[in-house]
Amino acid sequence: MPLPERVLIDTSAFYALVSVSDTFHVEADGAYQALIDREQELWTTSYVLVETAALIHHRLGFEPVRVLVESIAGVVRVFWVESNIHNSAWRELVVRRGAGLGLVDWTTVLAARTLRSHVFTFDRGFVQEGIAVVPRHDIP
């Protein structure tokens, strides 16, 4: 299946790109470079940016956060999560009683559906919700 025009980047992919000790670092780097080479339209959400910055800052310090933010400026577009997406994501989380995807993940699912995009992730929860992911072969 060919990639759509847009690919939405999830926290797990950003973290794998930044952390050289992450299990998926090499694969994330290759997948990201392939997306750039194919001139895919890259997106992320405002919630993913907040979650990613907090995770990287907590685990790796501020400098990797700064480098990530500066390196994606002008390359990755931001889908700003508004109240309708937030409220729908919250409803999904409540209906499922917190099982499976978290709130930020649900906002990503809804943004991916809105953008008609795949999600660049290493979180298999997206596949379980029927979302097409990049890279496909690493997520059972």
Whole-number average pLDDT of the chain: 93
pLDDT for res 98: 82
At residue 59, the pLDDT reads: 97
Element (H, E) at 43: strand 41-45
Instruction: Let me know if residue 97 belongs to a domain.
Output: yes
Q: Is residue 111 part of a domain?
A: yes
CATH number (domain holding residue 111): 3.40.50.1010
Identify the domain containing residue 42 by its residue range: 6-134
Q: How far is CA 26 from the centre of its chain?
A: 17
Domain membership flag for residue 92: yes
Q: What is the pLDDT of residue 100?
A: 85
pLDDT at 106: 97
Joined together, the tokens standing for residue 8 give 């939405």
Q: Is this model's pTM higher than 0.75 or not? A: yes
In a domain, 94, yes or no: yes
What one-character-per-residue DSSP string does 57-90 give? HHHH-HHHHHHHHHHHTTTEEEE---HHHHHHHH
Structural domain count, the chain:
1
Decide if 140 is inside a domain.
no
- The whole-number pLDDT of residue 99 equals 87
Give domain status of residue 80, yes or no. Answer: yes
CA distance 81 to 29: 26
Residue 1 domain flag = no
Angle between helices 46-60 and 62-72 (to 10 degrees): 150
Residue stretches of the chain with pLDDT short of 50: 138-140
In this structure, is residue 47 part of a structural domain?
yes
